[in-house]
Amino acid sequence: MQELLQQIVSGIATGGIFASLALALVLIYNAMGLVNFAQGEMAMLATFAAFTLINRGVSYWIAFPLTLVIAFAGGILIQRIVIRPVERAPILTLVIVTLGLATLLNGLAGFFFGYLPRSFPSPFSAQTANILGAFVSYQDLGVIAVTAVVLVAIYLLLQHTTVGLTMRAAAHHPEPSRLLGVHVSWMLALGWGLASAVGAVSGIMVAPILLLEPNMMQTVIIYAFAAAVLGGIESPLGAVVGGVIVGVTVNLAGAYLPFVGGDLQLAVALAIIVAVLVLKPNGLFGRPNVRRV
Amino acid sequence: MALLELEEVRAGYGATSVLHGVSLSVPEGQIVSLLGANGAGKTTTLRSITGGVHWTGDIRFAGRSLRRMHTEDVVRCGIAHVPEGRGILTELTVDENLKLGSYLRRDGAAVRKDYDRVFEYFPVLRERRGLSASTLSGGEQQMLALARAFLMKPRLMLLDEPSLGLAPLIVRAIFEIIRTINTEDRVAVLLVEQNARLALEMSSDAYVLEVGRVAVSGTSSELKGNDAVRRSYLGY
């Protein structure tokens, strides 16, 4: 029982990391109907920015928000320079562009920082707290707290501010939004910035666990895909719930199913993707494509 | 000087040209109807004004040329365009749709008053505020589109077939409100309508488009008396 609780808490922590990246995917999917395959690499590069700042002696809790700002600006820049020229191209073109972007960012990181895994600091102590008889690490609790704060902030921004409203309007209905005076193209750029910043959170949170190197996010993004698909790809709330479910499931499967262990955890995520697509293609929170005319 | 002036406007989609030199004007505070058969270019005329289609010639609003302006910026000059299909944002709630009408305004107290008026005109919108706009009926969506346009506090409204697909009773109610908005707030209206009889009753001036050109124009009462117009568009 005690161990189960520990495994669940630790699963929620990993789930929060998946959820952040999944939310980034959903934000861009909503804005352009596109799965951004470069999302993981963008997060990785942002984590390298945080790494550089911290190495230069900036304290962690200053480097963290600073990195989010850098990631935000980077996301906007990528949308303006790379995505905007092909905005109206067929979706396959866009997919190839994001794949190319992923390769480019990966190469850039390798060129500037090398492929040697580096340890990344965690602000949370490695000790454990005793909660209801279970030993829960401060690391896990910290990750849960940070991702929760970020996700709630994104929710409030999207649902309860005018900027959030115009972003959602521009994403779902570009033409009618223009007629209401919404600068649609800039709203899309803002969406990329926001996605990039949320994704960066997942990179910074996962780096102490996985060690920082250019390929760090390549498994994380698969879990994030699983989370986003499970949540219904277009639902921000779904991405978060999906992230937590995937995190807990993968963790429990690794701990209790001997044949899964540590090696087949990724297969569990892929199984989730396949199962969702076969059994419930719209995911948990996605709406079926039925519309009143 | 007229509020809106179109001068020899040509426009089209790709290689297909739709407007072959349309000139018309909408005086401040007046209702002007734009009539014509399907495909005559009525919708394209409205879309040219708000920059939804590439055009040449000149379009001036309040003395300022709209040439090369983006849709967003044209709208911010004070033109509310209720497009073909109403332009409802069905992924959002009724309330959010209304908010997108008023979000650029800085006159908070007046905005609140305008909301009260909107709900007085369309009580059903107050009841449905929290619901997704996709759940509204056609008539309710048209009301929402009109309410949202009103909340933009425009000087000119472009209305594209507000009666399309609606029951006669609802059409009457909606046109009554268009008239009220026009008289009380001095909002000019350029009205595209299939229902020519209704449109001519509302408007002071009217233009009839035929294959991308103005075929007939004059005051609405003149056009009501014009035999060709009567036979083609009024059906008696």
User: Given an 8 Å threshold on Cβ–Cβ distance, is A172 in contact with B101?
Assistant: no
Chain A interface residues (partner B, CB cutoff 8 A): 162, 165-166, 168-169, 172-173, 175-184, 291-292
ipTM field: 0.92
Q: How confident is the model at residue B35 (pLDDT cuts 50, 70, 90)?
A: very high
Q: What is the CATH number of the domain that holds A74?
A: 1.10.3470
User: Which residue in A29, A173, A178, A180 has the most chain B C-beta atoms within 10 A of its own C-beta, making it the best mutation to test that interface?
Assistant: A180
On whether residue A221 sits in a domain, the answer given is yes
Per-residue three-class SS string for chain A: CHHHHHHHHHHHHHHHHHHHHHHHHHHHHHHHCCCCCCHHHHHHHHHHHHHHHHHCCCCHHHHHHHHHHHHHHHHHHHHHHHHHHHCCCCHHHHHHHHHHHHHHHHHHHHHHHCCCCECCCCCCCCCEEEECCEEEEHHHHHHHHHHHHHHHHHHHHHHHCHHHHHHHHHHHCHHHHHCCCCCHHHHHHHHHHHHHHHHHHHHHHHHHHHCECCCCHHHHHHHHHHHHHHHCCCCHHHHHHHHHHHHHHHHHHHHHCCCCCCCCHHHHHHHHHHHHHHHCCCCCCCCCCCCCC
Domain that holds residue B15: 4-234
CB-nearest to B103 from A162, A173, A175 is: A162
Q: Do B104 and A181 touch (CB under 8 A)?
A: yes
pLDDT, tens digit (0-9, with 9 covering 90-100), for B1-21: 799 999 999 999 988 899 999
Total domains present in chain A: 1
CATH number for the domain spanning B12: value is 3.40.50.300
Nearest CA in chain B to A186: B72
**Pick from A162, A179, A184: CB nearest B87:** A179
In a domain, A169, yes or no: yes
Average pLDDT over residues A152-160: 93
Count of domains in chain B?
Answer: 1
Q: Would the CB atoms of A183 and B72 count as touching at under 8 Å?
A: yes
* Domain-embedded: residue A286: no
pLDDT greater than 90 at residue A292: no
pLDDT digits (tens, 9 = 90+) for A175-229: 999 999 999 999 999 999 999 999 999 999 999 999 999 999 999 999 999 999 9
pLDDT for residue A293 is more than 50 = no
Task: Encode pLDDT of B189-222 as tens digits.
Answer: 999 998 888 999 999 999 999 999 999 999 999 9
Indicate the pTM of the whole model: 0.88
Residue A289 in any domain: the answer is no
Q: What is the pLDDT of residue B235?
A: 67
Domain ranges, residue A68: 2-279
Judged by CB atoms closer than 8 Å, whether chains meet at B88 and A166 is answered as no
- Closest CA in chain A for residue B152: A180
Q: What is the pLDDT of residue B236?
A: 64
Contact A165 B96 (CB under 8 A): yes
